[in-house]
Amino acid sequence: MRDIRHFVNGATFEGASGRFGEVFNPNTGEVQARVQLATAGELDGAVQAALAAFPGWAATNPQRRARVMFEFKRLVEANMQDLAEMLSAEHGKVIADSKGDVQRGLEVIEFTCGIPHVLKGEYTEGAGPGIDVYSMRQPLGVVAGITPFNFPAMIPMWMFGVAIATGNTFILKPSEKDPSLPVRLGELMMEAGAPAGVLNVVHGDKTAVDAILDHPDIKAVSFVGSSDIAQYVYARGTSHGKRVQAMGGAKNHGIVMPDADLDQVVKDLSGAAFGSAGERCMALPVVVPVGKKVADELRERMIAEIETLKVGISNDADAQYGPVVSAAHRQKIADYIQIGKDEGAELVVDGRDFKLQGFEKGFFIGPSFFDGVKPGMKTYHEEIFGPVLQMVRAESFEEAVDLPSKHQYGNGVAIFTRSGRAAREFANRVQVGMVGINVPIPVPVAYHTFGGWKRSAFGDTNQHGMEGLKFWTKVKTITARWPEGETEDSAFVIPTMK
């Protein structure tokens, strides 16, 4: 049995906790490896390595740090196929999705290659008589990221890319469900020229998470996961004086106006709702057609589209999506489908009985489609995180705007329309953090910023882009005066109106 080890101070090391988590092959249902689960002491060892590396890395000029990021980007691109296969083997998503996972992370790495420019501070000459004022952004110290199973490449790179480029040293606690790729990213960062201790990968469960949140030398924590855990991470981390950004769950809506191009909408919904088996916080699991005519037509077209979807093993190039990550998660999705049916929603397409010939023990579940879903239902209120599309019919534009605006989550939303006026009004009024206009999955490009509202995010700073730069740095402002001679009077007091 292969053991997946921690990566600390530039090398893998054997943990001593004696505790392990099972890593499955979602295609077959078999255990393929064990991952070591760290103790608080082992987490502290990684922090000490990061502390030792911090002074030298922080003092490295931004151009040299950018060169490391350039080389890391090149190495990841050169290893793209191997990384995608490694990711798919543990997560279950198809190779094309895995490559997309890596690529979207690389786009943030690409942004960090320009770190010398974006780190420039502000300068005011002559703010007072002979006085200049300027600011600089400096790293925080040792920082950490806690990342989910669904994007084991993209989300770690979103976090450690900006953090490391700005001069911090980093502790990554990835999901124990698919931990191999994060370790490989740590190795590639060392190959790119980062000193040992700059990027460390520590595997673990709640013990490791709590150790990160409690550790006095970790100055900031970024988290992505479910909303309940995000709220816990934010509360516990901030209670220890840390800077925390904690991204939670989602229930993203797609509003379909009467003038929308339904051919395009159906294709977009198919990919956004069922792609990656729905295991995305920016998936589109709720469609809101406006008016009965649109709803009836969209329903029939979606049924026909779902019949064309191919579910297959992760290395099947023709499959639209593969298995979900675990047997427990598959059961959770199936339970939600039953709850929806019991609540009175119409289960138009039921994917629970799907079996893939030759892979009957794999964690596969077919696409499911509900009509007649109502806002008061549990399955509408909560995140299913699987290949399940729910239709909530709206009678008017006003009702369609209210649905996502009043939901507990506020991560992403999309509107499908040919009307610029309707799109503009919707984007202005809807109470959601990221909006797509004829774009089903509105994840911003790397030089903008990612973040939701309400229970989709805890903390006041988003990920990557300039918001990420602000999160991983602190501002120092200097007021300088250079007297002309030694006899000039100096006032060691707060300036007055004198």
Domain of residue 143, CATH code: 3.40.605.10
At 125, phi and psi to the nearest 5?
-85, 135
Question: Domain ends where: 437, 466, 488?
Answer: 437
Q: Which two tokens stand for residue 433?
A: 């953090």
State which amino acid sits at residue 332: K
Rounded Cα distance between 247 and 434, Å, is 13
| Pair 340, 419 in one domain | yes
| Token pair listed for 278 | 């729905």
* pLDDT band (50, 70, 90) for residue 463: very high
75 and 111 part of one domain: yes
Pair (198, 319) in one structural domain: no
With pLDDT > 90 as the criterion, what percentage of the chain qualifies? 95
Is 113 designated active site? Answer: no
CA distance 251 to 245: 20
The answer to whether 108 and 446 are in contact (CB under 8 A) is yes
Residue 498 maps to a domain: no
210 plus 311 within the same structural domain: no
Give me the helix-helix angle, 180-191 and 62-78, nearest 10°.
Answer: 130
Tell me whether residue 84 is in a domain.
yes
- Residue 494, in any domain of the structure: no
Q: What is the CATH number of the domain that holds 354?
A: 3.40.309.10
Beta bridge partners of 457: 247
Domain that holds residue 181: 2-248+456-478
Do 41 and 162 fall into the same domain?
yes
Give the mean model confidence (pLDDT) for residues 48-71: 98
Contacts of 420 (CB under 8 A, 6+ apart): none
Residue 493 has pLDDT above 80, yes or no: no
Same domain, 65 and 139: yes
Catalytic: which of 119, 140, 224, 281? 281
395 and 349 share one domain: yes
Same domain for 87 and 234: yes
Instruction: Tell whether the model's pLDDT for residue 492 goes beyond 90.
Output: no
Domain count, the chain: 2
Q: Residue 280 has what pLDDT? A: 95
| Contact yes or no for 182/206 (Cβ under 8 A) | no
Indicate whether 185 and 300 sit together in one domain: no
Q: What pLDDT score does 487 carry?
A: 54
Q: Please tell me the distance from the alpha carbon of residue 88 to that of residue 392, in angstroms, as a whole number.
A: 33
**Do 311 and 170 fall within a single domain?**
no
Amino acid letter, 53: A
pLDDT at 483: 85
pLDDT of 484 reads 78
Nearest-angstrom CA–CA distance, 345 and 333: 16
Q: Residue 271 CA to chain centroid, in angstroms?
A: 19
Q: What's the rounded Cα separation, in Å, for the pair 470 and 5?
A: 32
pLDDT for res 258: 98
Report DSSP letters for 58-71, one per residue.
Answer: HHS-HHHHHHHHHH
Q: What does pTM read for this prediction? A: 0.94
Q: Do residues 351 and 409 both lie within one domain? A: yes
Q: What is the pLDDT of residues 214-262, one digit of tens each?
A: 999 999 999 999 999 999 999 999 999 999 999 999 999 999 999 999 9
pLDDT at position 496 is 61
pLDDT at 118: 93
152, 182 contact by CB (below 8 A): yes
Let me know: does 160 contact 153? Beta carbons within 8 Å.
no
d(CA 232, CA 214): 12
SS3 state at 110: helix
Contact assessment for residue 440 and residue 254, using Cβ atoms and an 8 Å cutoff:
yes
Query: Is there a domain that residue 176 lies in?
Result: yes
Residue 66 falls within a domain, yes or no? yes
pLDDT digits (tens, 9 = 90+) for 303-340: 999 999 999 999 999 999 999 999 999 999 999 999 99
Look at residue 10 and tell me if it is in a domain: yes
Backbone angles phi, psi at 433, to 5 degrees: -75, -30
244 shares a domain with 260: no
